[in-house]
């Protein structure tokens, strides 16, 4: 079968389409015919050699897919070693969900990572009261567009922060009550919660906006690692900081993640949220897909179509 192989650490040219052996299913797993594969920021970090848990290379990247299994339309996470950027992949049946009627395969591949990464912390780590102001950074991206919609669905008021003016409109169209670029963050009125996908200086600016009793959730470090925060400083400000990492939670608390998957799927089926697909590329253009994300030109989820 055809697959995109990451030959080594480096530029987008390291992603090459090759003929590779067919995957083999073991107990509790099934082979899905991939119709779309999500491209995640973490995949870009792996290609650049900057991911904390680097796979052995060469490797086939891709942690989420949508496709067909025995005539059924499905979506889900692939096993931790990846393999989604391919015509077929082994998937743990526990992490397969039915693709909603009328949803495209591209939307299915855009769903699991973005919506679970948003839903679990926004429902388990903070309490979003009616009208709560929730600041979301990288709000036009794959996880960000999911978070904006989820805060809306929870009756909160999403406030979107993005890296460029071109990205302001998308989160607004999804229900953000305010949208600003990072350089205008200091003008935002105080917020009840922060959902941060950027880290670095943006995280520091976002923390400064928290009201007393507010909570920040650190999720991504696309813009640089987070500053350290000491309990002394947190106590003095009456605020809290949580960290969230879905990959590890899947291993440590699969029951919680499984329940959350059912809950957030119902939200999609009920029409309260929908995955946003920003761009589709054939397998041969996987390098271009990575480049779009790395250069901060993507919005929503970037998807590969085998």
Ligand X SMILES: NC(=O)c1ccc[n+]([C@@H]2O[C@H](COP(=O)([O-])OP(=O)(O)OC[C@H]3O[C@@H](n4cnc5c(N)ncnc54)[C@H](OP(=O)(O)O)[C@@H]3O)[C@@H](O)[C@H]2O)c1
Q: HEC string of 218-243?
A: ECCCCCCCCCCCCHHHHHHHCCEEEE
Q: Interface residues for ligand X in 139-168 (CB under 6 A)?
A: 140-144, 162-164, 167
By the rule CB under 6 A, 223 interacts with ligand X: yes
Helix (H, G, I), strand (E, B) or coil at 68: strand
Distance CA 286, CA 167 (A): 23
Q: Quick check: 245 binds ligand X (CB under 6 A)?
A: yes
Q: Report the 10 Å Cβ neighbour count for 272.
A: 14
With CB under 6 A as the contact rule, the residue among 174, 197, 216, 303 that binds ligand X is: 197
Nearest approach, Cβ of residue 88 and ligand X (Å): 24
62 in Cβ contact with 37 (< 8 Å)? yes
Query: What's the min distance (Å) between Cβ of 153 and ligand X?
Result: 18
Length of the chain in residues, anyone?
306
In the region spanning residues 86 to 125, those forming contacts with ligand X, defined by CB under 6 A, are: 113-114, 117
Specify whether the CB–CB gap between 125 and 150 falls below 8 A: no
Interface residue with ligand X among 4, 29, 42, 191 (CB under 6 A) is 42
Is 290 a residue that touches ligand X (CB under 6 A)?
no
Min dist CB 232 to ligand X, Å, is 26
Q: Does 171 bind ligand X (CB under 6 A)?
A: no
Contact between 40 and ligand X (CB under 6 A)?
yes
Are the C-beta atoms of residues 194 and 214 closer than 8 Å to each other?
Answer: yes
Task: Say whether 11 sits in a helix, a strand or coil.
Answer: coil
Identified binder of ligand X from the candidate list 110, 174, 219, 289, rule CB under 6 A: 219
Nearest to 133 by CA among 76, 205, 206, 41: 206
Q: Are strands 210-218 and 240-243 parallel, antiparallel or unpaired?
A: parallel
State the DSSP H helix or E strand holding residue 43, giving kind and residue range, or none if neither: helix 41-47
Confirm or reject binding of residue 246 to ligand X (CB under 6 A). Answer: yes
- Using the contact rule CB under 6 A, the part of the chain among 1-9, 203-211, 217-225, 255-263 near ligand X is 217-225
Using CB under 6 A as the binding rule, whether residue 63 contacts ligand X is answered as no
Residue numbers at the binding site for ligand X (CB under 6 A): 40-42, 113-114, 117, 138, 140-144, 162-164, 167, 197-198, 219-223, 244-247, 293, 296, 298
């Amino acid at each position: 079968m055809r697959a995109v192989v990451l030959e080594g650490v480096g530029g987008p040219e390291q992603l090459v389409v090759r003929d590779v052996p067919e995957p083999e299913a073991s107990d509790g797993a099934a082979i899905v015919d991939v119709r779309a594969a999500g491209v995640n920021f973490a995949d870009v970090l792996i290609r650049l050699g900057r991911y904390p848990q680097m796979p052995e290379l060469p490797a086939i990247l891709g942690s989420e897919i949508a496709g067909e299994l025995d005539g059924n339309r499905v979506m889900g996470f692939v096993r931790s070693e990846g393999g989604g950027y391919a015509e077929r992949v082994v998937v743990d049946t526990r992490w397969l969900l039915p693709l909603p009627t009328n949803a495209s395969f591209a939307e299915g591949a855009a769903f699991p990572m973005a919506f679970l990464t948003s839903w679990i912390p926004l429902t388990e780590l903070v309490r979003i009261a009616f009208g709560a102001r929730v600041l979301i950074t990288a709000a036009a991206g794959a996880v960000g567009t999911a978070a904006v919609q989820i805060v809306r669905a929870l009756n909160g008021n999403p406030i979107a922060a993005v890296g460029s003016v071109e990205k302001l409109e998308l989160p607004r169209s999804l229900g953000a009550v305010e949208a600003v670029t990072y350089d205008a963050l200091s003008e935002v009125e105080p917020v009840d919660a922060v959902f941060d996908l950027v880290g670095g200086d943006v995280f520091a600016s976002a923390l400064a906006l928290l009201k007393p009793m507010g909570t920040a959730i650190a999720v991504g470090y696309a813009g640089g690692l987070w500053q350290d925060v000491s309990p002394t400083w947190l106590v003095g400000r009456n605020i809290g900081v949580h960290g969230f990492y879905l990959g590890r939670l899947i291993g440590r608390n699969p029951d919680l993640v499984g329940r959350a998957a059912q809950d957030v799927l119902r939200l999609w089926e009920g029409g309260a949220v929908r995955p946003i697909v920003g761009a589709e590329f054939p397998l041969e253009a996987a390098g271009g897909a990575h480049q779009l994300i790395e250069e901060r030109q993507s919005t929503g989820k970037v998807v590969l179509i085998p």
